[in-house]
Chain A
């Protein structure tokens, strides 16, 4: 359990660092991928509902903190999106590219569209069609590509943690 918590903290911390520094260099047409959404989807595809929801909430909260604006919106959206994915993950061929791409794309579109509606529409902005085409869809495509190289290493890391846990608790592998 202790290793699991340490691994989760490390994953969130390194993701936060990458999102606020390295990913600036991957910007295309002023749009950068959102590695936090990508990792939330990966965790939701791999883990139980409780673990996915907790990690989703923490990834979202990290995004809120990094942005330095109102805390909680991304946390809520990540939390709510990770639950349904994790509930059906055992019925999916998780390693299929199409499954990964579909979930990364739809999760990004859902999270960013609702975030836009919450943040911008209340202020009287009406740019949704414009921003859907110039920000949300490009980011979703970007995330769909990014999930492909990231899925396997994260999956392997979780398998390793499971093995360590089983050995420590002397459970059969």
Chain B
């Protein structure tokens, strides 16, 4: 009896040690041990994709009737906008030519020329209540690598944190593990945008390390600075919602509303290095 009991304790302690070792080894996002994620992700991915497909179809069906009414109204507004946009297009055409000439003259590099755009669908969301991560339907088979930036047409979404064979995990910019070196578009001051436990539920994040006497106002745009080597320069992150000033030199922070609506996000673009 005593022997059995000691054996059970031995097994218990062994399992605890193994799990703590797993914690230590898997702590790095690039750890090889993370390959065991494939056990769940590979068989679950087809079902998750099927679920996402069915979900989209059902939403499309119920949205159709509402869309007809809204389309009529939107059509009126769009016709008015077309006239305005045609005028702006002429201006844009001229500015594009000017911009191209100036870039050539200054030998500027296109920020995206070293990336390939890989369109992906979100097939699963964060299973718990602590983080803001999600799963996309592209993985190592599509040559996606960790730390690849993830964007939408509107702005920055986050980065790839883990890759399995057919899926990848994305850490969004509102996740507590996310830190992005950013710049205030107006004043060009460097700041750090990071996820916040309290704000993430509202789909917001915060900007820290705002230098004293910085001219930062609600409505100011925040973009990536290009520093840090993960995100290319100039991707729009969001807008300043409010500024909380404290007495310390770097104690002030700003609440940022990302341009990406994380609750309704369905498709993303992964920037894969060429």
B270, chain A: closest CB distance, angstroms: 15
Q: Give which listed residue, A21, A30, A31, A70, contacts B27 with CB less than 8 A.
A: A70
C-alpha spacing A90/B201, complex, angstroms: 41
Q: A13-B44, A63-B128 are in contact. Are A71 and B201 (CB under 8 A)?
A: no
Chain A-chain B contacts (Cβ-Cβ < 8 Å), number: 113
B133 A68 Cβ-Cβ under 8 A: yes
Stretch of A97-105, A126-134, A145-153, A154-162 at the chain-chain interface: A126-134
A32 B129 Cβ-Cβ under 8 A: yes
C-alpha spacing A63/B40, complex, angstroms: 10
B257, chain A: closest CB distance, angstroms: 16
Within 8 A of A (CB), among B140-186: 161-162, 169, 171, 176-177
B23 A72 Cβ-Cβ under 8 A: yes
A81, chain B: closest CB distance, angstroms: 13
B197 A20 Cβ-Cβ under 8 A: no
B48 A76 Cβ-Cβ under 8 A: no
A120-148 CB contact bits vs B (8 Å, 1 = yes)? 10010101001100110001000000000
Q: Is A110 engaged at the interface, CB distance under 8 Å to the other chain?
A: no
Interface of B is mostly: helix
Within 8 A of B (CB), among A33-86: 34, 36, 53, 57, 62-63, 65-73, 75-76, 79-80, 83
C-alpha spacing A119/B33, complex, angstroms: 20
A140, chain B: closest CB distance, angstroms: 11
Within 8 A of A (CB), among B193-216: 197-198, 201
Q: Is B245 engaged at the interface, CB distance under 8 Å to the other chain?
A: no
| Residue tally, chain B, CB below 8 Å to A | 42
Interface centre among B23, B27, B123, B162 (most CB of A within 10 A): B23
Q: Is B85 engaged at the interface, CB distance under 8 Å to the other chain?
A: no
Q: A21-B48, A65-B40, A130-B198 are in contact. Are A75 and B133 (CB under 8 A)?
A: no
Within 8 A of A (CB), among B231-254: none
A71 B36 Cβ-Cβ under 8 A: yes
Q: Is B124 engaged at the interface, CB distance under 8 Å to the other chain?
A: yes
CB closest chain-B residue, reference A24: B125
Q: Is B19 engaged at the interface, CB distance under 8 Å to the other chain?
A: yes
B7, chain A: closest CB distance, angstroms: 12
CB closest chain-B residue, reference A138: B129
CB closest chain-B residue, reference A127: B197
Residues of A within 8 A of B161 (CB): 68-69
Q: Is B89 engaged at the interface, CB distance under 8 Å to the other chain?
A: no
Residues of A within 8 A of B176 (CB): 120, 123, 125
Interface centre among A20, A63, A68, A123 (most CB of B within 10 A): A68
C-alpha spacing A13/B131, complex, angstroms: 21
Q: Is A19 engaged at the interface, CB distance under 8 Å to the other chain?
A: yes
C-alpha spacing A76/B14, complex, angstroms: 12
A65 B198 Cβ-Cβ under 8 A: no
B20 A76 Cβ-Cβ under 8 A: yes
A-B residue pairs, 5 tightest by C-beta: A68-B169, A72-B23, A20-B124, A71-B26, A72-B22
The 7 listed contacts between A and B (C-beta, < 8 Å) are A34-B128, A63-B127, A71-B37, A73-B23, A120-B197, A127-B198, A139-B129
Given contacts A24-B125, A125-B197, 18 further A-B contacts (CB under 8 A): A13-B40, A13-B43, A20-B125, A21-B48, A30-B129, A34-B127, A53-B15, A65-B37, A67-B130, A70-B23, A71-B22, A71-B36, A72-B26, A79-B15, A79-B16, A79-B19, A112-B129, A130-B198
Which B residues are within 8 Å of any A CB, using their own CB?
A: 12, 15-16, 19-20, 22-23, 26-27, 33-34, 36-37, 39-41, 43-44, 47-48, 51-52, 123-131, 133, 135, 161-162, 169, 171, 176-177, 197-198, 201
